[in-house]
Amino acid sequence: MRVWLAYGRDGLHVRIPDGAHAIEPQFEPALPAPLEAVRQALAKPLGTLPLKDLLDSKQRVCIVHSDGTRPMPGELLLTALAEVFSQVGIPDAQITLLNALGTHRPNTREELRELVGEEPLRRYRSEQSRSTDAAAMRAVGRLSDGTTVELHRAYVDADFRILLGFIEPHFFAGFSGGPKSVVPGVASQRVIQHVHRAELVAHPQATWGVLDGNPLWETLYEGACLCPPDFIINVALNKEKKVTAVFAGSLDTAHRQGVEYVRKSAMRAVPKLFDVVVTTNSGYPLDQNLYQTVKGMSAAARVVRPGGAIIMAAECADGIPDHGAFGEIVREAGSSEKILELVHSAGYCRPDQWQAQVLAQVLQKAQVYLYSDGISATQARSMLLEPITDLEQTIRTVAAAHEAATGRPAEICVLPQGPLTIPYVG
């Protein structure tokens, strides 16, 4: 059988053995008039008053948007927002766009243009929240465990705060969108590391599709509520990266309704575990680097048999990447066992250790093969992955090796959309 895999901007067509199980999210059609849908969502929001009734012409507005690792329709949302700002009489000079980088690298001007559009960049002030810029952070309160939370000054100092987000299942925060735009989005490096500490990432409830009882999500939500947004606009997208639904309104109500919508399409039950799982990281922009690609490995690990194989196809045009400590941690440790030993050791605290931790957890369960135009064979091996150059041949070889060892044909699963599909045995 022939399947299309989400890889980079264009995808890949791959032939896999007949009888393999291809699992994709339930297809949701794109909204026929997305701009009108956003306008309606702003006029009839969830859990709060219409946006125009909440705003005042004297207010300074901060709009937090996702960075270049998310397929956000930023220009669409900002077009609808600009119409409301005009109705209320808010001057462009009082509006700031804040790029929620978390620990990711700053985006280039061209990337920002792709994220939010040329006109918003021209009209509004634009800032990027660099978590390591201590001078740009403001303390907003303490978590219940006593930890001080610092957020970017452009967000804290605003009179009215709006979050733009994309809801998808997340490998340890349950779902993206909502409070994640604040923590980790515009939080300080220290706060991000605290929220992503090893014991929270390792918690069994810190996983795909779980919010309630997930200590990591509950901690970042608590942090966001110390300086809460006044309004959010979250969207759901289909595999073509087209908007299928808009959820606007209060943080709690709009995000929760969006989560339940996405849960129904993304969470897919399978009857058993598989010997071989072929997966992706959902294509561009989600497969820009190996750091992000760990998410696709984690999704596949949910349905691979212990000792099985995960075959990952991710372009990784941005490499490992060069910024951050993810690559350094994995290379210095040299094994999945050592990574887990390090992150759980007293006093160990490094940026991106959570991604190395999840990679190690995956490698404890299965061998991972990597097909990537952006990662060399040497780089892949240094990251504890087996580099491959022929997807179809690798699938056949791994399946044949399994049959030779066990005496039965390999059970194969394919996740063409990677972590946009979250399989579970049930």
d(CA 251, CA 225): 9
pLDDT of residue 268: 94
pLDDT of residue 71: 80
Which residue is associated with the tokens 């399994």? 402
Helices (H), 138-279: 153-156, 189-195, 198-201, 215-225, 251-266
pLDDT at 333: 97
Q: Is the pLDDT at 72 greater than 90, yes or no?
A: no
pLDDT surpassing 80 at residue 189: yes
**DSSP state letter for 187:** B
Q: Give the pLDDT of residue 68.
A: 73
Residue whose token pair is 């897919």: 268
pLDDT in tens, 168-179: 999 999 999 999
Give the residue numbers annotated as catalytic, written as ranges.
Answer: 104, 170
**In 105-188, alpha helices (H):** 109-116, 118-123, 153-156
CATH architecture assignment, domain 34-265: 3-Layer(aba) Sandwich (3.40)
Q: Which superfamily does 2-25+271-425 belong to?
A: LarA, C-terminal domain (3.90.226.30)
In the predicted structure, residue 426 carries a pLDDT above the cut 90? no
Q: How confident is the model at residue 108 (pLDDT cuts 50, 70, 90)?
A: very high
pLDDT tens, position by position, 269-292: 999 999 999 999 999 999 999 999
Cβ–Cβ < 8 Å for 119, 138: no
CA distances 6 to 13, 24, 106, 164, 364, Å, are 9, 11, 25, 25, 26
Q: How many CA atoms lie within 13 A of 62 on its CB side?
A: 25
According to DSSP, residue 420 is labeled: G
Query: For the segment 241-266, what is each residue's pLDDT rounded down to a tens digit?
Result: 899 999 999 999 999 999 999 999 99
For residues 76 and 49, give the distance between their C-alpha atoms in angstroms, rounded to a whole number: 21
Give domain limits for the chain. 2-25+271-425, 34-265
Provide the pairing of β-strand 137-142 with 148-152. antiparallel
pTM given for the model = 0.90
CB burial string 91-105: b at 16+ within 10 A, e below: eeebbbbbbbbbbbb
Residue 100 structure tokens: 């929620």
